Chains A and B, each alone.
Chain A
Amino acid sequence: MTKKDDDVFNQEEERYLKSYYQKLDQQWGVDPSTSEAQLAQFRERLNQERTKNASWRFSWKFFMTALLAAFSMGLLSSRWIMVPELVATRGIEPTSHSEVSANSPPKIVSITTLEPKAYTEHLIDLTKDAGLEVTVITSGQNRQISVKPFLKGDARQAAARDFLGVEADTVGVVTVIMTQPSQ
């Protein structure tokens, strides 16, 4: 039995411990290498995982494609559905108003008045029986009035043109921005 200075156990004790640990490893199921059975089991499990991942990836891709397709279809169909409706709602007169709007630049008239209500009512009176539509948007002290459609050579609309102070050949939409001075 030899024992070096830096060794805690002598050779025989080391051999004994080695045998003991080998036995303990056997008892605890510790094996020095991975068996073929264990490897095959792991491969099978990994394959299952890969299949699961692939199907998940496929369904995710499918979902994204379907979403994009539906969105594109919506975009395309909206062009066909929306446009005729737009023309129909604007078509007050036999002449297409949208065409008039497209060909004439918008006219904007700015007015400051102490009596916005009276001004608006007078404008509405003038547009009656003149084939004009008036839209009033009120926001605090201010109003935005949209008058349309002014048509070329329509004598009924001359009074309204005169009141708004626009040229006699004005066509399309005239927007009036009305402000009330603070008192």
Chain B
Amino acid sequence: MLESLDLNGLYRDLVGIHLGRKADAVTRLYQHFRPLVFKKLRYQYQAIQETDLQDVIQEAFIKIYNTKSYPKDAASMSAWVFRVCENACLDLLRKAYRKHEMEWPEWPIDSEAPSAEVELQASAGLQEAGVDSDQPVSRPLTPLNRAVEFCVSSGMSLFSSQYPERALAISLAMDGLSMSAIALTLDRTEAATRQFIYESKKKLAPFIQHCLEQLR
């Protein structure tokens, strides 16, 4: 997706004086970056509605078209695009907060392993679905087993609300994206991203492990 993009050419057109080429460069940026930007922001700012988010992202790319302050080179352009979109998202949240349309979201703190309360809530999901944790769950995996899915959903939603960036990292890795693309999205180095994904999975495990044990 992003790997095939000629960032140098795009950068030249973006900072150049030819307005037609600039508009074309912004359109190409939008086309290639939108899916990742949308996914990142959707995971990070779950309080924002899908349509609002689509709108904010378009608005952010219009800002990119109008801006006079560009990134210093083509290499830093991807991170810049993500930053502009994220700032636009934060502006929307600030506006909504000022208008008392919503409460200011409490940013999750990356704490250590989930509390006992978290594990209890996730287990409750399994029991609610009428699953005896000692009973094996029938396969195949697709379509997803409803009871396990319900348990996993409870655990995952808790995990996503506590660690949105980690949930995003796992999801991007599950999508089969290259490590460089994930690193670009998360604004980390490739090595740091690899480590981050591994640690995120470790953090996720206590939330859903007891559900997944049903699959064994």
Interface residues of A (CB under 8 A from B): 1, 6, 8-9, 12-25, 28-34, 38-39, 41-43, 45-47, 49-50, 53
Nearest Cβ in chain B — how far from A162, in angstroms? 74
State the 10 A-B residue pairs at the shortest beta-carbon distance, nearest first: A8-B201, A29-B50, A18-B174, A21-B171, A21-B174, A34-B34, A30-B39, A34-B31, A13-B212, A28-B42
- Assembly CA distance A37 to B19 (angstroms): 23
| In the complex, chain B residues 161-195 whose Cβ is within 8 Å of any chain A Cβ | 170-171, 174-175
Let me know if B78 is at the binding interface, CB within 8 A.
no
Nearest Cβ in chain A — how far from B58, in angstroms? 5
Q: Are B171 and A42 in contact (CB under 8 A)?
A: no
Q: Are A24 and B215 in contact (CB under 8 A)?
A: no
**B-side binding surface: helix, strand, loop or mixed?**
helix
Let me know if B205 is at the binding interface, CB within 8 A.
yes
Q: Choose among A13, A25, A45 the residue that contacts B171 (Cβ–Cβ < 8 A).
A: A25
- Assembly CA distance A20 to B142 (angstroms): 10
Q: Closest B-chain residue to A47, C-beta based?
A: B23
Q: Are B30 and A25 in contact (CB under 8 A)?
A: no
Q: Choose among B30, B142, B202 the residue that contacts A19 (Cβ–Cβ < 8 A).
A: B142
Q: Are A16 and B30 in contact (CB under 8 A)?
A: no
Interface residues of B (CB under 8 A from A): 1, 19, 23, 26-27, 30-32, 34-35, 38-39, 42-43, 50, 54, 58, 61-62, 65-66, 141-142, 144, 148-149, 152-153, 156, 170-171, 174-175, 198, 201-202, 204-205, 208, 212, 215-216
Q: Which residues of B contact A33 (CB under 8 A)?
A: 1, 35
Q: Are B62 and A17 in contact (CB under 8 A)?
A: no
Q: Are B19 and A50 in contact (CB under 8 A)?
A: yes
Nearest Cβ in chain A — how far from B158, in angstroms? 13
- Assembly CA distance A29 to B35 (angstroms): 10
Nearest Cβ in chain A — how far from B214, in angstroms? 10
Q: Which residues of B contact A30 (CB under 8 A)?
A: 35, 38-39, 42
Nearest Cβ in chain B — how far from A81, in angstroms? 44
Q: Choose among B62, B148, B174 the residue that contacts A45 (Cβ–Cβ < 8 A).
A: B62
Q: Are B141 and A12 in contact (CB under 8 A)?
A: yes
Q: Are B198 and A16 in contact (CB under 8 A)?
A: no
Nearest Cβ in chain A — how far from B43, in angstroms? 8
- Assembly CA distance A13 to B137 (angstroms): 13
Nearest Cβ in chain A — how far from B80, in angstroms? 18
- Assembly CA distance A29 to B41 (angstroms): 12
